[in-house]
């Protein structure tokens, strides 16, 4: 009879982990052997509020990954394993883990899950080497602004030419010349200079 409450607890834990695997933008598996409680607390804080760092039993985490439809992680569930469930920017979380691992070599990145597929430790490092979402969006906005400026200049050029032509016609009419001569002079004027 003592087994039933334990099994219920395990089933609940597996269900919670399964949901977290499904809801996370990415999940990174690490080995934390040798890290103190203070270091783990520091790591959790450095990852931000949208990312959680959870120590889990390998058998339960492996079952949860399978239930979430994720394959290719079985060999990573050895030794003390912690799961980093990323809810925010995946690149920032990967950078946080990479930087913490550099300062604390006891933290070993094993691999993870990104966009529903298993990734290796080197792929997690490559994610960390990418620029953050905000930087990429700023670059895109800058490129779009430059292209919009070019487009505006292109659209203004015919308008400027038309305005020069209208001004030349008006000047010639004021002088009493026929309109045909005025348009010939305006069409021959160089770009950016009004016709005489």
Query: In this predicted model, what pLDDT tens digit does every residue of 42-90 receive, in sequence order?
Result: 999 888 888 999 899 999 999 999 999 998 888 899 999 999 999 888 8
108: three-class secondary structure by DSSP:
strand
77: three-class secondary structure by DSSP:
coil
Please report the beta strands in 7-80, taking only residues with DSSP state E, as ranges in sequence order. Answer: 26-31, 51-56
Please state, in angstroms and as integers, the Cα–Cα distance from residue 40 to each residue in 92, 97, 130, 144, following that order.
Answer: 18, 11, 25, 42
Give which of 90, 100, 93, 91 is closest to 32, Cα–Cα: 100
Give 130-144 pLDDT, tens digit per residue.
765 565 566 567 666
* Average pLDDT of the chain, as a whole number: 80
Given a cut of 70, whether residue 184 has pLDDT beyond it is no
pLDDT at 147: 66
pLDDT at 161: 74
For 177, phi and psi rounded to 5 degrees?
A: -85, 155
In whole angstroms, give the CA distance from residue 192 to residue 100.
59
Give 20-47 pLDDT, tens digit per residue.
999 998 999 999 888 999 999 999 988 8
pLDDT at 1: 45
Given a cut of 80, whether residue 153 has pLDDT beyond it is no
Please state, in angstroms and as integers, the Cα–Cα distance from residue 171 to each residue in 49, 165, 190, following that order.
Answer: 69, 10, 17
Number of alpha carbons in the 13 Å side-chain half-sphere of residue 78: 4
> Mean pLDDT, to the nearest integer, of 114-142?
76
pLDDT at 126: 86
Is the backbone of residue 31 left (phi > 0), alpha (psi -120 to 50) or beta? beta
In whole angstroms, give the CA distance from residue 24 to residue 5.
28
Share of the chain above pLDDT 70, in %: 73
pLDDT at 196: 46
The answer, as to whether pTM is greater than 0.75, is: no
Pair of tokens at residue 74: 């079985």
């Amino acid at each position: 009879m003592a087994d039933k409450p334990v099994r219920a607890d395990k089933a609940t834990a597996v269900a919670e982990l399964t949901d977290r695997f499904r809801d996370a933008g990415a999940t990174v598996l690490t080995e934390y052997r040798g890290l103190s409680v203070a270091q783990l607390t520091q790591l959790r804080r450095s990852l931000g509020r949208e990312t959680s760092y959870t120590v889990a039993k390998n058998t339960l985490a492996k079952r949860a990954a399978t239930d979430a439809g994720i394959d290719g992680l079985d060999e990573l569930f050895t030794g003390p394993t912690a799961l980093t469930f990323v809810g925010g920017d995946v690149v920032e979380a990967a950078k946080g883990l990479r930087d913490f691992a550099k300062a604390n070599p006891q933290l070993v990145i094993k691999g993870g899950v990104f966009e529903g597929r298993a990734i290796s430790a080197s792929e997690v490092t490559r994610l960390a080497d990418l620029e953050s979402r905000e930087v990429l969006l700023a670059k895109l906005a800058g490129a779009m602004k430059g292209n919009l400026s070019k487009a505006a200049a292109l659209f203004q050029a015919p308008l400027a030419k038309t305005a020069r032509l209208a001004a030349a016609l008006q000047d010639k009419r004021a002088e009493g010349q026929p309109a045909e001569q005025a348009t010939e002079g305006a069409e021959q004027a160089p770009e950016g200079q009004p016709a005489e």
